[in-house]
Amino acid sequence: MDKHFKKIARVEGLLEMSPDDERFRALVLSNEKVFPPTLEAEEEAAELKRVAFASYADATTPEEFSAAQVQNEAFIAKLKLVEEQQGVFDEVTWCLDAAVMAENMELRAKTPNMRKAGQWKIARLHAKERLSEYEQHEAEAASEAAAEKKRKRSSNANTTAAVSLDPSQPGLEFISVLKRALTLLIIMHTSPYAIGNP
């Protein structure tokens, strides 16, 4: 490999990585699509924690402390699910990034190893496939947000235009009178019968 890419690999740890490493083998052994935890799941965990701590703060008897502990265990169980889902998502995205860098590094080396580059390519494509539904969902959400932003801009422009054409607006009546007065002054000044004209 070129010295430049050896330096990059050393920084990123890619020289020590292999497509045969356990985490990359685990990546390609599963076809499960991955997503990060939803906002609703994170909010539910936060609410369970709030309820558990509120119950503990209000408890004064062993029975009430036991009830608070049950609520706390529900929070812990939910938090564990959220963290596990986030962990799987982070692992697949990390594998994708690592495979992309390792494949590019191998192909741009002075004497590339096509078999090894091909193994990295397989890992890259597999990680990409496992993230495909999430990426599609994100693209659709971004498209919907852009369309909504465009609709709001259009609505605001139409509202502004409607207001500017409304003669009932008090400020606009003054402007209309001022325009007529200026027009009259111009006519008087340019008329051959205006005072001061020969």
Q: How many domains does the chain have?
A: 2
Say if residue 90 is in the same domain as residue 184.
no
pTM, to two decimals: 0.68
pLDDT tens track, the chain, 198 positions: 444 444 444 445 777 889 999 999 999 999 999 999 999 999 999 999 999 999 999 999 999 999 999 999 999 999 999 999 999 999 999 999 999 999 999 999 999 999 999 999 999 999 999 999 999 999 998 988 898 888 888 877 666 555 555 555 555 566 666 677 777 666 666 655 555 545
Structure tokens at 68: 């608070």
Domain membership of residue 166 as a residue range? 162-198
Contacts of 70 (CB under 8 A, 6+ apart): none
Are 126 and 33 in contact by the 8 Å Cβ rule? The answer is no
Q: Considering 134, 153, 175, which residue would you say is the last residue of a domain?
A: 134
Buried (b) or exposed (e) across 99-124, using 16+ Cβ within 10 A?
bbbbbbbbeebeeeeeebbebbbbbb
Q: Please tell me whether residues 101 and 193 are part of one structural domain.
A: no
45 and 107 in a single domain? The answer is yes
- Are residues 127 and 194 located together in one domain of the fold? no
